[in-house]
Amino acid sequence: MRIRNDGDPMICSTPIDAAVLADYWTAALAKPEEEAIEEHLFNCDQCGERLREVIALAEGVRNLAREGSLRMVVSDAFLKRAAEEGLRIREYAPPAGGGVQCTVTAEDDILIGRLAANLSGAKRVDLCICDELGVEQLRLPDIPVQSGASNVAYQESITFAKAMPTSKIIARLVTFDEAGGERLLGEYTFNHTRSLPGPGAW
Ligand SMILES: [Zn+2]
């Protein structure tokens, strides 16, 4: 690492692309390129810091793929990274008030329901997962919503989805008015057809 004479943070004029850093970390680069990156990292704290972020994210994605059973709202940055890591993402985007035919295969790693809604001004948004009659089974309270976002990416547990029989699941996004009353932002119907063999198959 370079010794700094002043206390100012060094600004890198040629930052290494995150995808290149990821390739460097997984030893996917050709020798000359790898040596050039190594040399750069030796002298550049800023890119070194970004390499640590890339590693942390990659490990996180691997852990998540291994777990494969989390129900959570994910960011587009996460999905982009997961795709770059080679994970297979299956995504369904039913319109608000509408439905979609969906399934999951043995090769899928991540299952996403993309729920479009007008989220502007919503201070708190809850995601409710309901059965085919609309009875709430699970609620993710106060989910993260990126400012300016027009949809929410819900990750269904891939383990759960792979074991699920043919069935209908209704998702709802709700917010709250000043008085605390619940207001529907959108309702989405997932008509799931099981395509994997096993105990839950028809
Ligand atoms: Zn740099």
The correct CATH number of 88-192 out of 2.40.50.180, 3.40.1280.10, 2.40.50.100, 2.60.40.4070 is 2.60.40.4070
**pLDDT, position 53:** 86
CA of 75 to the centre of ligand 1 (A): 26
Q: How far apart are CA 157 and CA 146, in angstroms?
A: 22
Q: How far is the CA of 13 from the centre of ligand 1 (A)?
A: 7
pLDDT of residue 66: 61
So what's the pLDDT on residue 80? 85
Q: How far is the CA of 53 from the centre of ligand 1 (A)?
A: 14
Residue 147 DSSP SS3: coil
> Could you tell me the distance, in angstroms and rounded to a whole number, from the CA of residue 16 to the centre of ligand 1?
6
> What b-and-e string marks burial along 172-193, b requiring 16 or more CB atoms within 10 Å of the CB?
bbbbeeeeeeeeebbbbbbbbe
Q: From ligand 1's centre to the CA of 34, what distance in Å?
A: 14
Q: What is this structure's pTM?
A: 0.67
For residue 64, the CA-to-ligand 1 centroid distance in Å is: 29
Q: How far is the CA of 85 from the centre of ligand 1 (A)?
A: 23
Neighbours of 5 (CB within 10 A): 6
What is the chain's pLDDT, residue by residue, as a tens digit (202 residues)? 444 444 445 689 999 988 889 888 878 889 999 999 999 999 999 999 999 888 887 777 667 666 556 788 888 888 888 888 888 999 999 999 999 999 999 899 999 999 999 998 898 999 999 999 999 999 999 998 887 889 999 999 888 898 888 999 999 999 998 898 999 999 999 999 988 876 655 4
Among 172, 146, 138, 130, which residue's Cα sits nearest to residue 79?
146
Q: What residues does each domain of the chain span? A: 18-66, 88-192
**Six-digit token string for 154:** 């819900």
Phi-psi region of 60 (alpha: psi -120 to 50; beta: other; left: phi over 0): alpha
Q: What is the pLDDT of residue 131?
A: 93
Find tokens 């994910």 and name the residue. Answer: 74
Kindly give the distance from the C-alpha atom of residue 180 to the centroid of ligand 1, in angstroms, as a whole number. 49
Q: What is the pLDDT of residue 163?
A: 85
pLDDT score for 54: 85
Question: What was the pLDDT predicted at 5?
Answer: 44
